[in-house]
Structure 1
Amino acid sequence: MILYLFLRNIRTTLIIGTSIPISVIATFGLMYFSGISLNLISLGGLALGVGMLVDNSIVVLENIYRFRVEGYSRTEAAVKGTLEVAQAVVASTLTTIAVFLPILFVEDMMVSIYFGEMALAVVFSLMASLVVSLTLIPMLSSQLLKVENTDEKERKGIRKGFKRIYDAFDRAFGSIEKAYKKLLTWSLAHRKNTILLAVMVFLGSLSSIFLVGVELFPASDEGMVNISVSLPRGAEIHQIDEVLLEVEENIASIEEIDTVVASVGGGGAMGAIISVFTGGTQGSIMARLSDQKERNRTTAEVADEIRGLVKDIPGAEISVSTAGGFAGIAGAPISIRIKGDSLEDLEKISQDFKRMIEAVEGTKEITTSFSERMSEVQVHINKYSAATYGLTTSQVANSMRNAVSGIIATRYKLDGDEIDVVLKAEDSITESLANLQQISIPTAAGDNIPLNQVANVSIERSPFQIDRSEPQRAVTVTGQIGNRDLKSIMRDIDGALKEYPLPQGYTYEIGG
């Protein structure tokens, strides 16, 4: 219908309309051979490409029609009309393709996954439309295109059914055409002023580059708020449950919250995996808000109120984030990775960076990957003392492992199944440092000596997890953004961090 409103010819409309499904089908073929499936991302790219599919075909068809009006035969008009604009059509298509192709070479994993297929779908659809416009359109034009007014009766019938639509379109488009004609006449009569005005608009648009914010994904209002609660390692489940109950009581007064789902630790295989890395000391609350039409505040505004209500709960580290959308998939928008050798220095630098970033307007939920220190037993074997008893460090370590973890002494068969018989020391051996120091170590002479004769056993506090980046240790400071765009926030953060006196051998990288 839109094509017919402009072309006003049923034959030309059919020719152009035929090019759309042909181009889409050809695009599906290219996607198949490239291993791209039909999904939300690729269909989004195809939707972008469909809007540009008819451009090349219309340009070629209109030029062919011009040659037909000038008196050329169908075949001559198709050949001359296509060749005259072929170079321009190819150039315009390639310039559009050049805009999307660089996305395929972006190294960032998130951009590559979520926009690579979209870019390919657009490129494939444009390539298909180019081939169709230079081959199918001339062929159909040579067979169907007529200059004579042979379908006047048919057009009258169509006009009669849609008279109001056509009249309204003619009035609107006629007004636009008159205004454009006046503007074009004035521009041709005032060339210097036209060029000066164009230059001013261009310079003005350049200045706006620094005013427009930059971020990877726009904020979404999905109506989901995630509240993560973390307690010190060693905390009991009932303690986490008590904190979650307190959080629920604090946020119960928020009118926008519809339902609340709380979980401690987690169930299933994923919950077990999470418990290994978190020490089983985490819980979460997922708050679902009422429908967007039924509330006056956005998800981000509700999340800000929740932060204020739960920030003073003692003994727990609580973070609040908005769930859903691409932003959640992409991770934290603020990410600074600090690399160095000493854990103590990294901890100090990361805490300093955290305080500096928190002072920047628009930042929130600033955390570091430097996990809290936990108690662990460290055994330092004195290889010289061990050698006097004919022992090596590996023999001492194996004896300790056998006492604490046990060793398979034999296997017992029952109904076709083998059951391991594990021999180890009593469980009380790990209940105190004194008991550990008394672990019996067999010597080469056949005697047994306590562990503290050949090793120093102590309880130390160390990080639960140590990250590395290439050969160095690393700590990452991450955070969320609030009422400012990411570009301006990162500019302020970069300016603040440049003033920090990093020790020699320590570096940081800004990401996000």
Structure 2
Amino acid sequence: MHWLTRISIANRWLTFLIVAMIIGGSIFAVLQLKMELIPDIEFPMTTVMTIYPGASPEEVMEQVTVPVEGAISGMGGLREIVSTSVENMSFVYAEFEYGTNMKKVNAAIEDRLRAVSFPMGVPSVVPQTGEENPAVYPLNMSIMPLVVLSLSGDKPPNEISAIAAEKVVPELEKVEGVFSVSLEGGEEKVLVVPDAAEMNARGIPMSQLVAAISSGQYSSLEEISNADVNGTTQVGDVADIGIGPAPGTAITRTNGQNSVGIMVMKSPEANTVTVANAVVDKAAEIQATLQENGDDVQLVAVLDQSDFIERSIRELTREAVVGGALAVLVILLFLMTIRGSLVVAISIPLSILVGFLVMWAWGITINILTLSGMAIAVGRIVDDSIVVLEVIYRRLRQGQGFREAAIGGAREVAVPITSATLATIAIFLPLAFVSGIVGELFVPFALTITFALLASLVVSLMVVPPLSGMLVPKKLRGEPVDSWYQRLYTPALKWALAHRFLTVAIAAVLFFGGWALVPMIGTSFMPSMTEKIVMVDIETPLGTDPETTSHVAAQVEEVIGSQTDSKVDLYYTTVGTSSSFIGGFTAMLGGSGSNQATIEILLDADANLEEESQRLRDAVSSLDADAKITVSPMESMLGEMDPSTIRLHVLGSDYDNAVKPAAEELVAELQDVKGLGEVEADIAVTVRKPSPTIHFLPDGMDQTQLEQEMYVMMAGVGTGVELDSRELYVTGVMQTASNQAQLEDLRLFGGLPVPVRLGYFASVDIVEQPTHISRIDEQRSATVTADVTEKDVGAVTRDVQEKIDAFSAEGVEIEVGGVAEEMEKTFRDMGMAIIIAIVIAFAIVVASFRSIISPLIIMVSLPLASIGALLGLLVSGHPIGASALMGMLMLVGIVLTNAIVLVALVEQLRGKGMSTYDALVEAGRTRLRPILMTALTTMIALVPLAIGLGEGVLLAAELAAVVIGGLFSSTLLTLLVVPVLYSLTARFRRAAPARSD
């Protein structure tokens, strides 16, 4: 590619004009790039949610879940089906292989569901929302709220909800990029609670009570109580009336005050940071307007995805800039000339800007992975420019004119730097073989580095030579005396060449000693990335009503609010869950019900997450409450993509006699495993529920109307009538029946002119029903989970695996999931990728040198790099994880550069007639400075990343530690071991042909 140098020098000003145009285009591209937390990934996951009003978990499973599973099973690329059947609802979650076209899959699932015959009680459309039933929900980042706002105040929840609906939501919906705005909590109803005993004594069917209430207009609770039902009975005679939260909705509070949660979702194509900032700005405007209008409420942000994204990107940018500055300083110390250093320094922003331009053209976003790639590339992108500049300097000192020095120097180094850069880039090709989330995350990372390195290669051959012509003196003094490092290195090299076998033996001992460090380093999957948020999970006894759970949560809130010297900025409480998809999906994954509450505590930016968690944990432990209260830092920002939880799935056909006892026994077995937090199993507890069995239909009874009445008797119904903006809601009468006799004595019409006792044609048993039924791949299941609390996740998972191997239970099988499964898959795939990368790099070097022996010697630098890579992880305290393995993969390309440029010069000198020994000594002395410069600039540029303390830097930190350590050991040993091995194999090679400059 030295022709680029010839053209650029001949057309210097045209070259600079092209560069200026590229810079302008790149700046435009940077301003247009979307900013996200992680790369745009199409998750191969989808969920089918089906509403089945009035159905028990068993009925939901048998009549809805199983048919839906059957419709999905057998589809191409399907990995796993997980289902949860709860009262009234079915969730079926399907995971496919990465790379599956999910648009086609979701369309195919919808087509298959239309062919499924569901029971009559399953509506085709959800009455409250108008959505199709069943509904298919693709799982992606856009289903999560971009911003969650809280509107709170010293007002009744329904008033706050009305203000939110009328004055906040419409304004937020106008923000460009906002897809939808929904409310959580604050919905109150006038609850009419029928008394089963009184209803039976007066012979009043529930449908008659509902009809009586629905026909009136009311201005007070007393008027509702006095409403006539049948001429002799008033509503208050057979029902209690009060105000409370709507069934199936959450109770929310902010800082202990009544509040409404406002969830803002963005359009999939919108820029996360831009939209989030616009929403927060709009919220500030709305708050000011509300205050002007006398609405005594506060609108604040509880969750803002852009905060973490902007902070992470700011941290990564800072580390990259500092690293780049340090790299330039290293160059200055070596060259001892500001002009020459400026030439190389210019190549850094220029290469990065071109990289961003290509990212924009490819539709790649700015995120913590791509920006980490750019930060990692900062040290490497100066390598080619250093080599080109150094050879120009050397030739100028030899008395050559600038044009001759530039073109001749480019011809000398073009092949080695091109092959080295291509080898560095080519090692990313095997990422195509890395499956799962790791492959999806690191492909944009690899592309970003690829774009930057290709840009740096072109810049080194096209921009550095003409720029040198402007900034570097046209004449330099003759050959300088050897530098101090050359005076140290040359005798060391001669000693190594005189003691070749001892040198090789020392290198071998260091290699095996490095790998002996692995047990001390430990293994993990991915570093945790957490916000400054503490979560308090509250669980009261099963069956506890929302009001009681809310009271327990209020006690915890009081403790949080009374803390002195705390770093608490805001706390947001949610009791129960909504009937929305997000709420339901949360419940499916073990989320909240009426007996559960969560308090999200936002800490100040300077708070220590672990210390504050422990402080709050100690404070809450003194509470005397009939509830399980857990205080812990918020889970990783990457959620399921950054697991720190081991999941063991116990599968079998007999739940009660095999699966359940096996899961309970497994929980007991894992209690003594060091490094595991609390071990739990999602074993379904049972509750007592009425279960009607219809024996026959009386003459004239309509089955559809009977099913509707039965549903209302069990679940309740809204009347459509309002009192002070609160709908009147009649709860299910079966909920207040105390025994079987009362249940069977309930009346209903079922389309008949007179009411009939339910017990006349049906029996109603009070049975123990599970709260939920879980299945995996169409088998009953129970999942045992435990958080890994140790840094060495691999050691903990091995201990768990030993327990599983020794565990024996008939009728079940145990599948390992969570972090253990992801680690095994990632280590296997990345190991294969590294092997393939080595083969690819070897092929490129063979093609460049047109021989086998020299490339084999060059490849020796790879095992030498592993010594420092492992030592770097040990010193930095990072385990071997996905990021570290990515660093190992990168090292395959990076460390070859030094060996390639060294051996290439040896071949050239031998081609000119030098002996092997003299060629090795001269090449080592000549290439020492550029090798040290490129290695040190790369290592020093990565130091800020390696020691970075911010959350956004964590993914790049262990990768940087690997590259720094690996490059350190490979550079020192390559300068000695590669010449020794070249000398040992000299007898097997012919003299290299001479190459003209």
> How far apart are 1:269 and its partner, in Å?
7.2
Task: Write out aligned runs for 1:240-389 (5 A).
Answer: 240=549, 243-244=552-553, 257-259=566-568, 264-266=573-575, 273=583, 278-285=592-599, 299=610, 303=614, 306=617, 310=621, 315-323=626-634, 326=637, 330-344=642-656, 345-382=658-695, 385-386=696-697
Instruction: Choose the corresponding residue for 1:34, options 337, 340, 362.
Output: 362
SS in 1 for 2:520: coil
Residue 463 of structure 1 pairs with residue 770 of structure 2: yes
The one-letter code sitting in structure 2 at the alignment partner of 1:189 is A
> How far apart are 1:180 and its partner, in Å?
3.7
Q: Assess if the C-alpha contact under 8 Å between 2:538 and 2:630 holds in 1.
A: yes
1:45: which partner in 2? 373
Q: Distance in 1 between matches of 2:407 and 2:435?
A: 44
Q: Structure 1 length normalisation: TM-score?
A: 0.74
The one-letter code sitting in structure 2 at the alignment partner of 1:341 is S
Q: Distance in 2 between matches of 1:302 and 1:139?
A: 59
> How far apart are 1:252 and its partner, in Å?
10
> How far apart are 1:496 and its partner, in Å?
0.3
SS in 1 for 2:631: strand
Q: Distance in 2 between matches of 1:427 and 1:220?
A: 45
Q: Assess if the C-alpha contact under 8 Å between 2:790 and 2:796 holds in 1.
A: no
1:201: which partner in 2? 510
Q: Distance in 1 between matches of 2:702 and 2:424?
A: 70
Check 1:267–1:479 CA distance in 2 against 1; reply closer, same or farther (3 A cut).
closer
Tell me the percent identity.
Answer: 27
Task: Write out aligned runs for 1:57-456 (5 A).
Answer: 57-70=385-398, 72-98=400-426, 106-109=434-437, 111=438, 115-141=442-468, 146-149=473-476, 177-218=486-527, 224-237=533-546, 239-240=548-549, 243-244=552-553, 257-259=566-568, 264-266=573-575, 273=583, 278-285=592-599, 299=610, 303=614, 306=617, 310=621, 315-323=626-634, 326=637, 330-344=642-656, 345-382=658-695, 385-386=696-697, 396-401=706-711, 428=733, 430-432=735-737, 433-438=740-745, 449-456=756-763
Structure 1: stretches of 5+ with no match in the other structure: 151-172, 413-419
SS in 1 for 2:455: helix
SS in 2 for 1:377: strand
Q: Distance in 1 between matches of 2:353 and 2:543?
A: 60
Check 1:380–1:174 CA distance in 2 against 1; reply closer, same or farther (3 A cut).
farther
1:161: which partner in 2? none
Q: Distance in 2 between matches of 1:24 and 1:452?
A: 79
Q: Distance in 2 between matches of 1:458 and 1:472?
A: 28
The one-letter code sitting in structure 1 at the alignment partner of 2:511 is F
2:62: which partner in 1? none
Q: Distance in 2 between matches of 1:467 and 1:33?
A: 45
Q: Distance in 2 between matches of 1:182 and 1:253?
A: 71
| Higher RCO (Cα < 8 Å, 6 or more apart) | 2
- Per mean C-alpha deviation after superposition, the further-off stretch among 71-80 and 21-30 is 71-80
1:169: which partner in 2? none
The one-letter code sitting in structure 1 at the alignment partner of 2:595 is T
Check 1:393–1:103 CA distance in 2 against 1; reply closer, same or farther (3 A cut).
farther
Residue 509 of structure 1 pairs with residue 509 of structure 2: no
Q: Distance in 1 between matches of 2:734 and 2:578?
A: 31
Instruction: Choose the corresponding residue for 1:479, options 782, 786, 802.
Output: 786
> How far apart are 1:290 and its partner, in Å?
8.6
SS in 2 for 1:94: helix
1:156: which partner in 2? none
CA root-mean-square deviation: 4.6
1:184-221 deviations in whole A, cap 9, x for unaligned?
Answer: 34323322211101000111112222331122344679
The one-letter code sitting in structure 2 at the alignment partner of 1:401 is Y
1:13-35 deviations in whole A, cap 9, x for unaligned?
Answer: 33323322221121111111222
SS in 1 for 2:501: helix
The one-letter code sitting in structure 2 at the alignment partner of 1:368 is A
SS in 1 for 2:510: helix
2:885: which partner in 1? none
Q: Distance in 1 between matches of 2:533 and 2:728?
A: 51
SS in 2 for 1:466: strand
Q: Assess if the C-alpha contact under 8 Å between 2:650 and 2:813 holds in 1.
A: yes
Q: Assess if the C-alpha contact under 8 Å between 1:391 and 1:443 holds in 2.
A: yes
Q: Assess if the C-alpha contact under 8 Å between 1:265 and 1:283 holds in 2.
A: yes
1:24: which partner in 2? 352
Q: Distance in 2 between matches of 1:467 and 1:398?
A: 28
SS in 1 for 2:772: coil
The one-letter code sitting in structure 1 at the alignment partner of 2:502 is N
Q: Assess if the C-alpha contact under 8 Å between 2:377 and 2:449 holds in 1.
A: yes
1:131-175 deviations in whole A, cap 9, x for unaligned?
Answer: 32233334545676555139xxxxxxxxxxxxxxxxxxxxxx966
Structure 2: stretches of 5+ with no match in the other structure: 1-327, 722-726, 820-997
Q: Structure 2 length normalisation: TM-score?
A: 0.41
- Per mean C-alpha deviation after superposition, the further-off stretch among 191-200 and 394-403 is 394-403
Q: Assess if the C-alpha contact under 8 Å between 2:570 and 2:603 holds in 1.
A: no
